[in-house]
Structure 1
Amino acid sequence: MPRQRPARRPEPPGCTCRSFLRMMTAREFNDPNPDPAASSGVTALPSPRPCHVLVVSNHWKKADNRTFAAVWVDRQVTALRALGVEVSTFDIGSSHSPGDLWAAWKGLRAEVRRLRPDLVHARYGTITAMLCVWSGCRSLITYAGSDLLPGAGISWVRTWVGILLSNLAALKADALICVSGQLRRALWWRRGAARVIPDGVNLERFIPIDREEARRRLGWPADRRIVVMDAARDPVNKGLAVAEAAMERVRGVFPDAELRVFVGVKPDEMPLHYSAADALLCASRQEGSPNVVKEALACNCPVVATPVGDVEERLEGVVPARVVRRDAESIAAGLIEILRERRRCNGRQAVLGLGIDQVARRVVEVYLGVKESLS
């Protein structure tokens, strides 16, 4: 028996999916009363709303789940709303107990019946994706990294169960997004159906700031060579040990060189840190599409990174920048070259096509494609 879909809400006159998609592609948008969310750098689209999406994640109820990944989900939700998409949210919680998962699934299905959205968007794979594809509504899954890639820091059983659930969910989902081509290749099947759409960068917030001014505001010494790194939450996968070993070699050339790991830095303060640093180091073993690399580039901060996710694509044509092997000697060599020059890179030019508004428009195209298939 074919699965039953919630009744589709009639489209407002004069705003079909095709017409809205043509308008989006042409960028013919002049909203005299922009949404307050336009402060995110997104140009609001005209009413009526093109579709209603229920975004599902696990970070809205518990403050402990407010990771950087959660911040990027919230930024995309804000950007989508600014574009005119009606976005509702549902928190499935972080418990893996059978009873709690059953309750989360029942709650999600009840929310689908109540809201009657056009589709459910699972922000990330594993159990979140499985609950969404069985919610009784059209579904889209965005895969971000550890949901398809084996990582470190958690048991191999939990890792591979999560990867299995992510791939099984892909069989039933109506649409798939991967944040990089490398991640799409990690899918066991339906690779051809997956769109590659990286998370966007708020180019109005992440802007280059004079290095001396940024250091003055942060209280950093003006003369030291400082490398920054995001490794506090997952030091094994992020490569903190190999980074520290590399820095020992760097100090053989530049005794004042210092590695600063982002700890307790508020998202709004990140542009200051990128602008104050001489380089960002990304020494990860596995990544989907490291957002810190894109943010650093938007601030013209030179990057030294291992070839994970879409790093090689992002650093193509960026000077100075280095893609290096994941060993202390190679990382140190890349850092020494960057620290010797002590100049800013041309990274912002490389990410101008990844503004949060541009990426959100691409996600809306996927939404409308799913909605159009209902017609």
Structure 2
Amino acid sequence: MVSKEGKLRVLFISSGRMGDVGYVVRNQGESLIRHGIDLDYLTISPGLKGYIGAVRQIRRRVRAGDYSLVHAHYSLSAFAASMAGRFPLVVSLMGSDAWQGVFMRLMIRFLSAVRWKAVIVKTREMKRRLRLEKAHIIPNGVDTERFTPGDRDEARQQLGFSLTRKVIVFIAGRNRPEKNYPLAQEAVAMLNNDYVDLLYVHSTESSTIPCYLNAADLLLLTSDREGGVNVIKEAMACNCPFVATDVGDIREIAGETEGCFITDHNSAQIAETVRQILKTSARSEGRKRILELGLDSGSIATRISDLYKSILQEYYR
């Protein structure tokens, strides 16, 4: 089904705190809208009560909205959508879904076989870990119009940072132990340099993240595990150098790109790599790599739109 203007109509479903979808889901939705998709959002309140109540809510919205298909993000949102009726359902699984317990992974495999018309995962590791042979690997795209290289001093002045100190940013949500901030702290302490600041950026507006990346000498990521690592792609789009542990799809995305370094979970190795970057003060060549790989949000929107069309052709055959 299409809108009066001949566009595909899609309902995006995801959980959302504070009554709004998360940044990653919003970014993907907006890129699809720019691509010509007629798209609405449905946000599920967190918690068991929210997901149970969402089943009826989804059913009503689908009936009233005359949607071409529904696209659910994260496994719990997909479970709720699966119980809401018969309609073409696409599911995007995120990094956290790959690390669920055995029962949840079994449910994902079962529903992907009997209910979901297509499953999108972010990395090869997710596909392997979830044992979803037919899953489509489509990473999250980065908005290269927002995440663009900028003047370091101007960004620092905007944020109120010193122009002379070395700044390392660690960008992650709060209460996320898998991000392993203590390892970052340990590595930076080993630099034994009073002119280096490690800034833990969290609970800030997403619109300010490009400014932090342009202000920083480097991004530090010390996670124990990841799926698709959005902040790495965002840093690369800004030509911000990074040092990251070997998790998720970072090695594949970085390749041999200048200014992009991957280490073990070893504080001494991390510290030495950070030290070498701080000596040069050079920016990375990350933006060029992002565009070469087609990881900008526009290219990813094209891939998702093409998937929608192929599903609908099969569904209504």
Q: TM-score under structure 2 normalisation?
A: 0.92
Mapped to 1, the partners of 2:297 and 2:284 lie a distance apart of 21
Moved more, 292-301 or 260-269: 260-269
Given the alignment of the two structures, is residue 121 of structure 1 paired with residue 94 of structure 2, yes or no?
no
2:125 aligned to which of 182, 198, 201: 182
Q: Which runs of 4+ in 1 moved over 4 A?
A: 159-162
| Aligned counterpart, 1:362 | 303
Of Structure 1 and Structure 2, the greater strand share is in: 2
Change (3 A) 1:234 1:64: farther
Distance 1:262 1:10 in 2: 42
Q: Does 1:281 align with 2:233?
A: no
Q: 2:165 aligns with which of 206, 217, 224?
A: 224
Greater Cα offset, 328-337 or 197-206: 328-337
Deviates more, 1:304-313 or 1:214-223: 214-223
The answer to whether the Cα contact below 8 Å between 1:120 and 1:137 also exists between their aligned partners in 2 is: yes
Taking structure 1 as reference, are residues 128 and 10 closer, same or farther at Cα in structure 2, changes over 3 Å only?
closer
Q: Aligned partner of 1:130: which letter?
A: F
- How far apart are 1:217 and its partner, in Å? 1.9
Gap runs ≥5 in structure 2: none
Evaluate the alpha carbon distance shift between residue 262 and residue 176 of structure 1 in structure 2; reply closer, same or farther with a 3 A threshold.
Answer: same
Identity value in percent: 29
CA distance in 2, matches of 1:205, 1:213: 16
1:216 Cα deviation (Å)?
1.9
- C-alpha distance in 2, partners of 1:300/1:101? 40
Distance 1:243 1:324 in 2: 12
Cα distance in 1 for residues equivalent to 2:19 and 2:69: 28
Deviations along 1:4-32, one digit per CA (max 9) or x if unpaired, are xxxxx4798xxxxxxxxxxxxxxxxxxxx
| Alignment correspondent of 1:245 | 186
Deviations 1:119-159 (A, max 9, x none): 1111122x211122333211111111001125xxxxxxxx5
Count of aligned pairs: 312
* Matches for 1:66-215 after TM superposition, within 5 Å: 70-97=22-49, 100-125=50-75, 127-135=76-84, 136-150=86-100, 159-171=101-113, 172-188=115-131, 190-191=132-133, 193-215=134-156
Change (3 A) 1:283 1:10: closer
Alpha-carbon RMSD across the aligned residues, in angstroms, is 2.0
**Kindly tell me: are residues 144 and 120 of structure 1, through their superposed partners in 2, closer, same or farther at Cα, counting changes over 3 Å?**
same
Query: Structure 1 residues 52, 109: closer, same or farther in 2, change over 3 A?
Result: same
Unaligned runs of 5+ in 1: 1-8, 13-46, 151-158
Give the Cα–Cα distance (whole angstroms) in 1 for the partners of residues 178 and 78 of structure 2.
23
Greater Rg by CA? 1
Code of the residue aligned with 2:112 in structure 1: it is: A
Partner of 2:12: 55
Partner of 2:289: 350
Please state whether the residue corresponding to 1:351 is helix, strand or coil.
Answer: helix
Task: Give the SS at the match of 2:6.
Answer: coil
Quote the Cα distance in structure 1 between the aligned partners of 2:267 and 2:103. Answer: 32
The residue type paired with residue 200 of structure 1 is G
Code of the residue aligned with 1:133 in structure 2: it is: S
In 2: Cα distance, 1:361 partner to 1:88 partner:
18
Q: Structure 1: how far apart are the matches of 2:194 and 2:216?
A: 16
Structure 1 residue 164: Cα displacement: 4.1
SS at match of 1:137: coil
For residue 88 of structure 2, what is the amino acid of its counterpart? R
SS at the partner of 2:112?
helix
Alpha-carbon distance change, 87 to 337 in structure 1, aligned in 2, over 3 angstroms: same
